[in-house]
Structure 1
Amino acid sequence: MTKKISIIVPCYNEEKTVDIFYKAICETFKKIPNYQPTIIFVNDGSIDQTLPKLRKLVQQPEIESHYLSFSRQFGKEAGIYAGLKNATGELVTIMDADLQDPPEMLIEMVHLLETTDYDCIGTARENRKGEPPIRSFFSNMFYKLINKISDTQIVPGARDFRLMRRNMVDAILELTEYNRFSKGIFSWVGFKTKYLPYKNVERVAGTSSWNFWGLFKYSIEGITDFSTVPLIVAVWLGLLVMVIAFLALMYIVLSALISGNPTRGWSSTISIILFLGGMQLFFLGIIGNYIGKIFLEVKQRPLYIIKEKK
């Protein structure tokens, strides 16, 4: 019996990779003929020739393909959610068009789902070879930090590339939150998952749309989406500074009463005031980030707007 697999491919400026990706998927599924793939390309407001290429690709007879094209760039998270909403397969996978998610791994992933009771087969990079050292360092720190402060555990190096059963996909679609961090959502829904390690693969063509600042903001989103620890830290650190300031004040008062000398150190006082003011602004920023998320949620705007589809 033939089973249908939906392949979700978020795309942003991937004109150099979509054709290569399509051919790689064709070659992969020749080795697992009992499975019928359907590719769902999600064009996230690309400004190159990605959309014209997708229009041509969906006319190709080898594999059934469709595309959704957003009215503007809404981000990869919106692309993933749109793909999941439109996926109809019994099995669903998410892949990058740049072939950093090796298509040949689908063969083992399909086999494991069919021969075990796992609900999801995920992937995790063993290393980050080929990336700038600073990016690798902060990425490793992110996984260590979020796993310490959040109840939702994320496997270090985990990718969005995973093969899921329909029941897991339906559970993910029930989470309609505006602020989305898919790696956390995949773990939060709690289905039984096995991760396959693999070595880092460089892009087959083109350049990544992710830069260090974009990844940093994405990591902050992940932390604040799945943990309130930053707020708790702000409270306890504020109390600690208040106690230290009170003790320092008592020392100054007692010193003035006992010695009779006026308190000196105008410059040091100003420095302390500036330090405390900066700390207050920093924690106001943390609180503001959480309030901003509430603001976006209560507006209930759609995660994306589709301009064209086929």
Structure 2
Amino acid sequence: MKLLSVVIPCYNEEENIFDFYNELMKTEEFFKGRDVDFELVFVDDGSKDNTAAKVKELNQKDGRAHLISFSRNFGKEAAMYAGLSHAKGDYVVVMDCDLQDPPAILPDMFKAIEDEGYDSVATRRVNRKGEPPIRSFFARKFYKIINKMSNTEIVDGARDYRLMTRQFVDAILSMEEYNRFSKGIFGWVGFKNKWLEFENVERKKGETKWSFWKLFVYAIDGILAFSTAPLAMASLIGVLFCMVAFIFIIVIIVRQWTVGDPNNMVGWASTACIILFASGVQLFCVGIVGQYLSKAYLEVKKRPLFIVKEEL
């Protein structure tokens, strides 16, 4: 039989472990008909509740459920990478435990790979029902911005819910960068990909772990990871201001020669505004360079993406 590894990153999801398992098992008959067995890889990302204990309890019921428990919270990107690196399957799917990634469409995803010859099947939401309007607005703007700035296509509404062949997973694992943005990595490696759309499913239990600030930081990481356009923008702004400054110097010299300045106090307000504005632009450009430098600094330190405290 072939093996399908289900990678489930978890952070404070004790209420959803068994609900997720029960929903996933509703697809088991389909996969048995295809001679495919399950392997469940739960990655406990330093949860503060009883997530690890619930997975251990599930393991007593079904030995196919495995546990990788981190020493602290390393983030979802690290959890996904850990799950992919531990997965043994011929096929691997990444799913959230909160049931916002409906297991019911997993058979359709498998058919696309097995019957239609795709290397991966990704999912995207066609709406954002139940999500705060301000978050939806900024999310759509983010996808528009990053697709204009990056050569790697990142689809609006894309989820991390994705079924992949072993070859596709090995390509993902070959990218060992510390600053990971999986939505971009999935697109960068290429291969033949199919998108499946579904209506947004609201979380039934627990609370979302993604605050607006965390999403904003994640968006910045995505832009920095897959685009150098901000550096080009900083350089362009610098050149533009050099040209403006040069023009102003010529204007001031010509004015001094022709008209003079009868009052030494004239123009102090405009001068102060220009200095403050120019300084602000300089700090903004230095900040952009600093962000890229900080990412390079983290990469060269070669710290591990995660530390495993316990493995079952």
Provide the TM-score with structure 2 as the length reference: 0.96
Supply the AA of the counterpart residue of 2:115.
T
CA distance in 1, matches of 2:268, 2:155: 51
CA distance in 2, matches of 1:288, 1:19: 45
Match of 2:47 in 1: 46
Matched, 1:98 2:65: no
SS state at 2:26 partner = helix
Match of 2:308 in 1: 306
Once the two structures are superposed, the pairs formed by residues 5-154 of structure 1 within 5 Å of their partners are 5-33=4-32, 34-61=35-62, 64-154=64-154
Residue 142 of structure 1 deviates from its aligned partner by 1.0
CA deviations 1:247-271 (Å, max 9, x no partner) are 1221122112101225622122111
92-101 or 21-30, larger mean C-alpha shift = 21-30
Residue 30 of structure 1 deviates from its aligned partner by 2.9
CA distance in 1, matches of 2:17, 2:29: 19
SS state at 2:96 partner = coil
Supply the AA of the counterpart residue of 2:25.
C
Residue 140 of structure 1 deviates from its aligned partner by 0.7
CA distance in 1, matches of 2:21, 2:204: 13
Segments of structure 1 that go 5 or more residues without pairing to the other structure are: none
Segments of structure 2 that go 5 or more residues without pairing to the other structure are: none
Match of 1:283 in 2: 285
63-72 or 29-38, larger mean C-alpha shift = 29-38
94-103 or 236-245, larger mean C-alpha shift = 236-245
Residue 29 of structure 1 deviates from its aligned partner by 1.5
CA deviations 1:213-255 (Å, max 9, x no partner) are 0000000000000010000000011111111122122112211
CA deviations 1:75-106 (Å, max 9, x no partner) are 00000000000000100000000000000110
SS state at 2:4 partner = strand
Match of 1:272 in 2: 274
Provide the aligned C-alpha RMSD in A. Answer: 1.1
Q: In percent, how many aligned pairs have the same letter?
A: 52
Match of 1:243 in 2: 243
CA deviations 1:96-136 (Å, max 9, x no partner) are 00000000110101111111121001101111111111111
CA distance in 2, matches of 1:22, 1:30: 14
SS state at 1:24 partner = helix
Once the two structures are superposed, the pairs formed by residues 166-245 of structure 1 within 5 Å of their partners are 166-245=166-245
264-273 or 87-96, larger mean C-alpha shift = 264-273
CA distance in 2, matches of 1:29, 1:147: 38
SS state at 2:60 partner = coil
Supply the AA of the counterpart residue of 1:146.
I
SS state at 1:59 partner = helix
103-112 or 48-57, larger mean C-alpha shift = 48-57
CA distance in 1, matches of 2:298, 2:82: 19
Supply the AA of the counterpart residue of 1:227.
S
Match of 1:296 in 2: 298
CA distance in 2, matches of 1:249, 1:200: 57
SS state at 2:8 partner = strand
SS state at 1:156 partner = coil
CA distance in 2, matches of 1:280, 1:158: 35
CA distance in 2, matches of 1:284, 1:57: 51
SS state at 2:296 partner = helix
Residue 32 of structure 1 deviates from its aligned partner by 2.9
Residue 22 of structure 1 deviates from its aligned partner by 1.0
CA distance in 2, matches of 1:253, 1:75: 57
CA deviations 1:126-169 (Å, max 9, x no partner) are 11111111111111111111111111111111111010000000
247-256 or 172-181, larger mean C-alpha shift = 247-256
